Amino acid sequence: MQARYGRLEQIIGSNNINILSTKTVLVLGVGGVGGYVVESLARSGIGTIIIVDFDTIDESNINRQIIALESTINMKKVDVLEKRINDINPDCKVIKIDKFIDNNNIQKLFDYKIDFFVDACDTISVKKEVIKICLTNKIPFISSMGTGNKLDPSQLEIVDIRKTINDPIAKILRKFIKDEKITSKVLVCTSKELPIKVGTRTPGSSAFVPASAGLLIGSYILKYFIK
């Protein structure tokens, strides 16, 4: 039993630890939600993690992003996260993609063999494209919906998008899958909590909901791989 994963091995078994070490997960967007997805996967022994983000860490990220510290302000998110993953698990292969992803270059992400795709980006058009490409290529995926303007992590859940409520992003995507006549299940991480009204266009955010969403997604992926 490897000490690093000994406690996890006690509850899922050594064979499943070995299975996790063979898997590749891509996380698109490594901010509030995506950063915690990566954190949980690195601490669970996932073999390869592909991290995709073009952003730098800003002081305003400190309240909710695991990689955001006084010492990391103005540093590239993928660089900081790569170092963190290596510190957690030196055996994890980290692939960094330091690019802004849009519909013109998103197909490049699928040049890799991906066992699970996590969409934690903020761009609606990209979320739509992820859904279409993953369904076409039969790649398991979860898309993170809105965690802004919410305070109660206990109302998070992973469900088919058709079952979502009180989520402005999910509302847009529900219309999209209806218009596109998509009948396949589209798994999303969403909160049933009614959004808190704020006086600015920029949503408010807490330390609790984005982090819990990321951990919930990470938990789902682990259970998916060892089912």
pLDDT tens digits, one per residue of 148-178: 999 999 999 999 999 999 999 999 999 999 9
Could you tell me the two tokens for 46? 């996932």
Buried b (16+ CB within 10 A) or exposed e, 61-86: beebbbbbeeebeebbbbbbbbebbe
Distances, alpha carbon 206 to alpha carbons 56, 213, 226, in Å: 19, 12, 32
At residue 89, what are phi and psi to the nearest 5 degrees?
-145, 95
Q: What is the CATH number of domain 3-226?
A: 3.40.50.720
Buried b (16+ CB within 10 A) or exposed e, 91-129: ebebebbeeebeeeebeebbeeebbbbbbbbebeebbbb
Q: Are 191 and 171 in contact (CB under 8 A)?
A: no
Q: Determine the pLDDT at residue 148.
A: 96
With CA atoms as reference, report the closest residue to 152 among 222, 112, 210, 65. Answer: 210
Q: Determine the pLDDT at residue 119.
A: 98
Per residue in 80-96, pLDDT (tens digit) is 999 999 999 999 999 99
- The domain segmentation of the chain, as residue ranges, is 3-226
Beta bridge partners of 123: none
Query: Which pLDDT band, with edges at 50, 70 and 90, does 125 fall under?
Result: very high
At residue 88, what are phi and psi to the nearest 5 degrees?
-80, -45
Residue-averaged pLDDT of the chain = 97
Per residue in 31-56, pLDDT (tens digit) is 999 999 999 999 999 999 999 999 99
Model confidence, pTM? 0.97
Coil vs helix vs strand at 120: coil
Instruction: Examine the pLDDT at 1 and tell me if it is beyond 90.
Output: no
